[in-house]
């Protein structure tokens, strides 16, 4: 029986998830297969869904019925979130993306390409199908594990662990995808070190932001929805390099602010406890 809310079980979850993901993705990498290959797409599904599937397995193996019920409930409810929090979940990333695009235009005089956005909104059926696909493959397939089970294991360890720590693990989990031709990560690698660094920094920063949202709302569903806005916005409004750099800086500043606030609150609680 696995322990719940323990550092050891969290580390075991991370090890199993990364070993499985890197193991199955080694097939197309060693075989030189690109993303359009049928075998690659199949193992990509096995790898992409591993965080949530393995997370659910660990939850069920806990044997704690109350915890299992609570966990499943948090996948379908918004927890303690209020209207302002829900608005933030759905608008923060799109707002940052548009701001970054505008700032990039001011610096480079290059207009943002909105052709993909325009194409999807001309065909609402296509937009709905794309949104459903984006919701399932990524947010739903990952967050039940990352900000669900792993968050439960580490949420009492502080923002640097359940935020930056999980964000960093989330980043390195993507590592094999950089070596499969045709993937988003491989395109970043082809364009050089700066796009790869932006990906690593922004993914870690987003890990802090999502971790914060999950902690204060106690909702896995909101983590899934926020992750959805990241992927969906990134697909329909792809930024140029300058825009990506600006976006990464903004996300890093927000994440740093969250860490500073959380650390300050923790110090205050510790001082209050000692005085009491």
Residue 2 has pLDDT above 70, yes or no: no
CA angle 128, 183, 205 (to 5 degrees): 80
Residue 275 has pLDDT above 60, yes or no: no
Q: How confident is the model at residue 1 (pLDDT cuts 50, 70, 90)?
A: very low
Whole-prediction pTM: 0.93
Contacts of 235 (CB under 8 A, 6+ apart): 116, 130, 134
Tokens of 134: 């984006």
pLDDT for the residue numbered 8:
87
Residue 272 has pLDDT above 70, yes or no: no
Pairwise pLDDT comparison (91 vs 265), residue with the higher score: 91
Q: How confident is the model at residue 267 (pLDDT cuts 50, 70, 90)?
A: low
Residue-wise pLDDT tens digits, 167-213: 999 999 999 999 999 999 999 999 999 999 999 999 999 999 999 99
| Residue range(s) defining the domain that contains residue 76 | 7-275
CA distance 92 to 155: 23
Domain-located, residue 71: yes
Domain-located, residue 46: yes
CA distance 189 to 224: 27
Residue 271 has pLDDT above 80, yes or no: no
CA distance 87 to 210: 14
Residue 79 has pLDDT above 90, yes or no: yes
What torsion do the CA atoms of 49, 54, 56, 58 make, to the nearest 10 degrees? -170
Domain-located, residue 1: no
Tokens of 223: 């983590």
Domain-located, residue 212: yes
Domain-located, residue 64: yes
Domain-located, residue 75: yes
Q: What phi-psi label fits residue 192: left (phi over 0), alpha (psi between -120 and 50 degrees) or beta?
A: left
Helix 166-173 and helix 7-31: axis angle, to 10°? Answer: 20
Using DSSP's 3-state secondary structure scheme, residue 237 falls into coil
Contacts of 262 (CB under 8 A, 6+ apart): 158, 159, 163, 212
Residue in the structure block whose two tokens are 């990464």: 248
Contacts of 217 (CB under 8 A, 6+ apart): 78, 79, 80, 81, 85
Domain-located, residue 2: no
Q: How confident is the model at residue 266 (pLDDT cuts 50, 70, 90)?
A: low
CA distance 169 to 204: 8
Instruction: Pick the closest to residue 90 from 103, 78, 105, 73 (CA basis).
Output: 78
Instruction: Pick the closest to residue 176 from 6, 8, 46, 7 (CA basis).
Output: 46
Domain count, the chain: 1
pLDDT for the residue numbered 269:
63
What is the chain's mean pLDDT, rounded? 93
Pairwise pLDDT comparison (275 vs 73), residue with the higher score: 73
pLDDT for the residue numbered 273:
56
Domain-located, residue 151: yes
Count the neighbouring beta carbons within 10 Å of the beta carbon of residue 169. 20
Residue in the structure block whose two tokens are 């990560």: 185
Residue-wise pLDDT tens digits, 23-69: 999 999 999 999 999 999 999 999 999 999 999 999 999 989 999 99
């Amino acid at each position: 029986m696995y322990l719940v809310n323990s550092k050891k079980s969290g580390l075991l979850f991370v090890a199993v998830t990364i070993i499985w993901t890197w193991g199955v993705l080694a097939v197309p990498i060693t075989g030189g297969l690109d993303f359009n290959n049928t075998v690659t797409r199949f193992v990509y599904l096995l790898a992409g869904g591993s965080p949530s599937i393995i997370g659910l397995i660990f939850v069920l193996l806990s044997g704690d019925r109350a915890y299992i019920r609570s966990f499943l409930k948090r996948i379908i409810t918004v927890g303690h979130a209020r209207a302002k929090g829900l608005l933030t979940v759905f608008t923060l990333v799109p707002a940052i993306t548009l701001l970054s695009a505008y700032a990039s235009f001011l610096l480079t005089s290059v207009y943002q390409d909105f052709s993909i956005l325009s194409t999807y909104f001309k065909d609402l059926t296509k937009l709905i199908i794309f949104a459903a696909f984006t919701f399932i493959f990524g947010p739903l397939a990952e967050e039940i594990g990352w900000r669900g089970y792993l968050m439960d294991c580490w949420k009492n360890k502080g923002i640097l662990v359940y935020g930056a720590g999980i964000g960093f693990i989330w980043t390195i989990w993507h590592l094999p995808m950089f070596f499969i031709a045709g993937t988003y990560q491989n395109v970043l690698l082809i364009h050089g070190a700066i796009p790869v660094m932006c990906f690593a920094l922004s993914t870690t920063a987003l890990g802090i932001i999502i971790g914060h949202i999950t902690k204060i709302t106690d909702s896995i569903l909101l983590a899934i929805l926020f992750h959805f806005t990241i992927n969906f916005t990134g697909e329909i409004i792809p930024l140029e390099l300058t825009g990506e750099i600006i976006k990464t800086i903004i996300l890093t500043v927000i994440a740093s602010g969250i860490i500073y606030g959380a650390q300050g609150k923790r110090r205050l609680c510790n001082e209050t406890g000692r005085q009491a």
